[in-house]
Amino acid sequence: MRTTLTVIKADVGGYTCHGDVHPKLIESAQKSLEAGKKKGILLDYFVGKVGDDLQLVMTHDKGVDCREVHELAWDTFVSATAIAKELKLYGAGQDLLADAFSGNIKGMGPGCAELEFEERKSEPVVIFMMDKTDPGAFNLPIYKMFADPFNTVGLIIDPNMINGFKFEVWDIYENKRVMLNSPEELYALLALIGTKSKYVVKRVYPREGNKVPESEAVAAVSTDKLHLIAGEYVGKDDPVAIVRCQSGLPAQGEVLEPFSFPHLVAGWMRGSHNGPIMPVGTKDSMTTRFDGPTRVIGLGFQIANGKLVGPVDLLGDIAFNNARQQALDIADYMRRHGPFEPHRLSEHEMEYTSMPKVMDKIRSRFIKIEKVEKEKPS
């Protein structure tokens, strides 16, 4: 059976402030997607959350970029926004950057990751959801899953994976993409995705010799940058990713392993700071301290004839307790820097925050140093 897995997220109102999703918004989304299922638009669905982001997980047989599915998601967010406004939730509808649906949800604010595939004998997937960060936060974990044998031993002992994987990397500022093969182009790949504010991994594909067809993506990441759509800072992008597992692909344990290291990501308070990302279970996904730490949850599903079996709350396991403690320790260290770099983002990355408005107030007071020196009395 050929199945499409679509994950679309949006912040349509925080409870309270930027911390959580109100239960009434989840209830509204469930009713909306259930109606879509009864109409035959969806095969199955799950409504989740991480931080203040409402997460729609949907299966169907209509392929990626399906207008019907995307419009259903948009209408779901619009209905939830109406409730958020009634409750006076913070930032009600903030991720909905268009007045009306125009055929595809991409470029309208909500983040979207999709995979279409022929279901295998067993089709396990992990859906990762992040809050208070940007799409580049997935670069390191996806690299480690599909290109680092110190993380994924299957790359050297599984004959299906020995030829490596192909990475689709996007330049999100120039709206360009490049395909790079691992392992032979590994250094070029790292040269790009190490600059995570500009280059992001969009998809990963298997290569010749794998059980999975080369044309079927095995991982997908939402790469929507809200400030590039809105022209100003309206909130962090809070990306999602879908990763298929096992049978020629990284095992579930290899897919989860990168999150044992709480790497530094951009986000946190006002989207203007670097800090650690903390793997948590759904119940601990509310952000608090300085709008952080940035959270990531991992939900495991089995896809069975288009149905979602699950989820299993994978990153809530005690195996990640040390990573959580390390994230908290790193957070203490970074916070001591206050408004100084490297805790605060670089000037270039602050361009789409409220920082330029502050600079506008004092810009006219700058004087050329040469002029000042000449005017000094002898």
Q: pLDDT digit string (tens) for 92-139?
A: 999 998 888 988 898 899 999 999 999 999 999 999 999 999 999 999
Please tell me whether residues 88 and 124 are part of one structural domain: no
Please tell me whether residues 287 and 370 are part of one structural domain.
yes
Q: In this predicted structure, which of 13-17, 179-183, 206-210, 368-372 has the lowest mean pLDDT?
A: 368-372
Helix (H, G, I), strand (E, B) or coil at 321: helix
Give dist(CA 126, CA 122) in Å, integer.
13
Expressed as residue numbers, the domain containing 177 is 119-378
Predicted confidence band of residue 224 (pLDDT cuts 50, 70, 90): confident
Backbone angles phi, psi at 231, to 5 degrees: 85, 0
57, 84, 117 - which closes a domain: 117
Handedness of CA 77, 79, 82, 84 (dihedral sign): negative
Chain center to CA of 50: 11
> What pLDDT does 233 receive?
58
Complete DSSP assignment for 7-42: EEEE---BTTTTS---HHHHHHHHHHHHHHHHTTS-
Could you report the per-residue pLDDT of 337-376, keeping only the tens digit for each? 999 999 999 988 887 777 888 999 999 999 989 876 677 7
The predicted pLDDT at position 351 comes to 75
What are the start-end ranges of the E strands in the chain?
Answer: 2-10, 44-50, 53-60, 111-118, 124-131, 165-171, 176-182, 199-206, 219-221, 240-244, 264-267, 273-279, 294-304, 307-313
Instruction: Give the number of domains in the chain.
Output: 2
353 and 223 part of one domain: yes
Identify the pLDDT of residue 349: 85
Q: Following DSSP, what letter does each residue of 165-198 receive, concatenated? A: EEEEEEETTTTEEEEEEETTTHHHHHHHHTSTTT
- pLDDT tens digit string along 297-348? 999 999 999 999 999 999 999 999 999 999 999 999 999 999 999 999 998 8
165 lies in the same domain as 95:
no
Q: What is the token pair recorded at 69?
A: 């599915």
Residue 228 has pLDDT above 90, yes or no: no
Whole-model pTM? 0.95
Shared domain for 7 and 37, answered yes or no, is yes
Examine the fold and report which residue of 94, 117, 140 is the final residue of a domain before the chain moves on: 117
Claim to verify: residue 138 and residue 192 sit in the same structural domain: yes
Instruction: Report the Cα 176 to chain-centroid distance in Å.
Output: 19
176-198: average pLDDT: 97
Are 240 and 253 part of one and the same domain?
Answer: yes
Q: Residue 339, Cβ neighbours under 10 Å: how many?
A: 8
Pair 197, 318 in one domain? yes
**CATH value at residue 49:** 3.30.70
Half-sphere exposure of 372 (CA within 13 A, CB side): 5
Is residue 232's pLDDT more than 70? no
Q: How confident is the model at residue 229 (pLDDT cuts 50, 70, 90)?
A: low
Inform me whether the pLDDT recorded for 378 exceeds 70.
Answer: no
Quick one: tokens of 194?
């190490």
Residues labelled as active-site residues: 11, 233, 236
* 152 lies in the same domain as 274: yes
**211 and 307, same domain (yes or no):** yes
- The per-residue pLDDT for 330 is 98
Q: What's the rounded Cα separation, in Å, for the pair 205 and 217?
A: 5
Confidence of residue 178 (pLDDT cuts 50, 70, 90): very high
| 239 plus 124 within the same structural domain | yes
- 52 pLDDT exceeds 80? yes
- pLDDT, residue 261, reads 98
In this prediction, residues 169-174 reach a mean pLDDT of 92
pLDDT at 235 over 70: no
Q: Please say if the pLDDT value at position 377 is more than 80.
A: no
Contact 64, 76 (CB under 8 A): no
Q: What is the pLDDT of residue 247?
A: 95
Domain end marker among 54, 85, 117: 117
Same domain, 251 and 285: yes
Q: What is the pLDDT of residue 234?
A: 56
